[in-house]
């Protein structure tokens, strides 16, 4: 377990450390932070110190606020009322032009690539992916469920880009497209933590079977 360091009052990017909480994530203390915008948020100190988290989320929303209204299509100059799958924000490519660019898989791969590039920039993570690196399978390689395109917001079967080793960033050989449900389960847990959860669940099933016998 990482040694505790008192960082009360220290500021990193837009966040100032207020106090440690009782929560633990990945074996580390979760801190309460105050953002420059006035809101508070909770996060591990390492993520803030390394620049993975720079605000309560207001910076992200500020960058995308202008896309809450229909956009001008950069291809045909018409009005685009098309929204991204990941954020629900309006895109600069209308439905007609998107269909001309190729099938839904190619279009979605481009959306995933653009979103990953933005996350890498915001969180100071390495990024060297190209469209050819975003391979969307027909079924989730983890859960086996069929993947499908869902507009506006994620659903369990939405394709989602996963970093195999989170700290390496979005680089070639370190990403895979899996279902959002599987990615949500995986989250920021380590392989050992996920195995411990699986072992615990199996042990509980065994106990329940014995009780029901």
CATH code of the region 104-200: 3.30.40.220
pTM value?
0.47
Alpha-carbon gap, residue 22 to 77, rounded angstroms: 53
3-state secondary structure of 108: helix
The residues spanned by each domain of the chain are 1-63, 69-101, 104-200
- DSSP label at residue 151: S
Alpha-carbon gap, residue 213 to 206, rounded angstroms: 11
Per-residue tens of pLDDT for the chain, all 213 residues:
456 789 999 999 889 999 999 988 877 899 999 999 899 999 988 888 877 788 887 776 665 656 677 888 866 788 888 776 656 778 777 777 766 544 455 678 888 888 899 888 888 889 998 888 888 888 888 888 888 765 546 788 888 898 888 888 899 888 989 888 888 887 766 777 778 777 777 777 665 555 444
Element (H, E) at 144: none
Phi-psi bin for 144: left (phi > 0), alpha (psi -120 to 50), beta? left
């Amino acid at each position: 377990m990482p040694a505790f360091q008192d960082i009360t009052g220290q500021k990193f990017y837009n966040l100032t450390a207020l106090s440690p909480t009782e929560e633990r994530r990945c074996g580390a203390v979760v801190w309460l932070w105050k953002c420059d915008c006035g809101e508070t948020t909770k996060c591990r100190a390492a993520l803030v110190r390394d620049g993975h988290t720079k605000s309560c989320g207001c910076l992200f929303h500020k960058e995308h606020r202008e896309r809450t209204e229909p956009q001008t299509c950069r291809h045909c100059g018409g009005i685009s009322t098309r929204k991204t799958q990941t954020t629900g924000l309006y895109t600069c490519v209308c439905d007609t032009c998107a269909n001309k660019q190729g099938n839904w898989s190619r279009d979605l791969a481009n959306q995933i690539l653009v979103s990953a590039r933005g996350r890498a920039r915001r969180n100071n993570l390495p990024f060297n992916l190209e469209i050819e690196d975003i391979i969307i399978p027909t079924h989730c390689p983890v859960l086996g469920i069929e993947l499908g395109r869902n507009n506006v917001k994620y659903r369990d079967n939405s394709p989602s880009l996963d970093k195999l080793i989170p700290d390496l960033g979005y680089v070639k050989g370190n990403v895979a497209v899996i279902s959002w449900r599987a990615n949500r389960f995986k989250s920021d847990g380590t392989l050992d933590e996920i195995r411990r959860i699986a072992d615990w669940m199996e042990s509980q099933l065994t106990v329940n079977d014995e009780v029901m016998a």
